[in-house]
Amino acid sequence: MKIEELFSLRGKTAVITGASKGIGKELAGLMAAAGANVALVARDEAQLNTVAEDLSLEKNRIAVFPFDLLNTNKIPKLIDDILAVFGSIDILLNNAGINLPKPPEDVTEQDWDMMLDLNLKSVFFLSKEAGKHMKVQGSGKIINMSSQMAQVGYFGRTPYCASKGGITQLTKALAIEWASSQINVNAIAPTFIETPMTENMFKDKEFHEQILNRIPLGRLAKIEDLYGAALFLSSDSSSMVTGQTIYVDGGWTVW
């Protein structure tokens, strides 16, 4: 195999959730640059259309699918709609998620349900429907966006930690279930990342300093730090890797 083909996604179709901004938007660009067709999934149709325009792909290589992942009963139709456009789903990147930092005493039932439903429940039901198709075609890559909080606890993030811990076990369980169909199920677990969504969080200098003191490499992650893991797990180069979580955390979890 030529080195340029090692991480090629040419001819593959990648579905990215939470694709309207931040990590999802950037990873959609990565997949497209590697040759994949991209299905962009998020709630905000206008933002999705902007992302599609920015990627400047041929119309047959990109499509937007406005969708609220909390509507799990409608996920089968979403998958059918994607298949109607592209004919296959080769990569599913479950990126959409939410965090509502609060001390446990202040967490409401609504907070808990929102985080667990989006961060964990929707991942299972989307993987379930995509997995049905992947089983028929005898191949597929499912990548779940986890967090270092799947392995460690941290202040103000109890439901979030629970949801990401669930992602670790979900990843392992689905990897076992679908290994015979040559479906690889893995996860990426970043540390704190500099994004527009976290910008206000790090205006708190004391909090910023606390986080940097926990990361041996001494800096926050950038979205670009996820590119290597995402491309590796999406491509044929990871065909013997399944049920694993790659920690892109600057060494946080080795303490």
DSSP structure string for 167-217: HHHHHHHHHHHHGGGTEEEEEEEE--B--TTTTTGGGSHHHHHHHHHH-TT
Q: How far apart are the first and last CA of the chain?
A: 38
Of the residues 154, 160, 227, 247, only one is catalytic, namely: 160
**Domain assignment of residue 222, yes or no:** yes
What CATH number did the domain enclosing 231 receive?
3.40.50.720
Please give the structure tokens belonging to residue 196: 């527009």
**Domain assignment of residue 56, yes or no:** yes
Residue 144's SS3 state is: strand
154-209 pLDDT, tens digit per residue, is 999 999 999 999 999 999 999 999 999 999 999 999 999 988 778 888 989 999 99
DSSP class per residue in 92-129 = EEE-------B-GGG--HHHHHHHHIIIIIHHHHHHHH
**Domain assignment of residue 255, yes or no:** no
Looking at residue 1, its pLDDT comes to: 64
**Domain assignment of residue 223, yes or no:** yes
Domain region containing 191: 3-249
In this structure, the chain runs to a length of 255
CB within 8 Å of 119: residues ≥ 6 apart: 97, 98, 160, 163, 164, 166, 167
Cβ–Cβ under 8 Å, residues 177 and 166: no
36-72 pLDDT, tens digit per residue, is 999 999 999 999 999 999 998 888 899 999 999 999 9
Total domain count for the chain? 1
**Domain assignment of residue 163, yes or no:** yes
Q: What angle do CA 225, 226, 232 make, to 5 degrees?
A: 120
Question: Is 160 a known active-site residue?
Answer: yes
**Domain assignment of residue 149, yes or no:** yes
Cβ–Cβ under 8 Å, residues 38 and 57: yes
- Which helix (H) or strand (E) segment holds residue 141: the answer is strand 140-145
Q: pLDDT tier at 15 (50, 70, 90 boundaries)?
A: very high
The answer, yes or no, to whether residue 3 has pLDDT greater than 80, is: no
pTM equals 0.96
**Domain assignment of residue 21, yes or no:** yes
**Domain assignment of residue 254, yes or no:** no
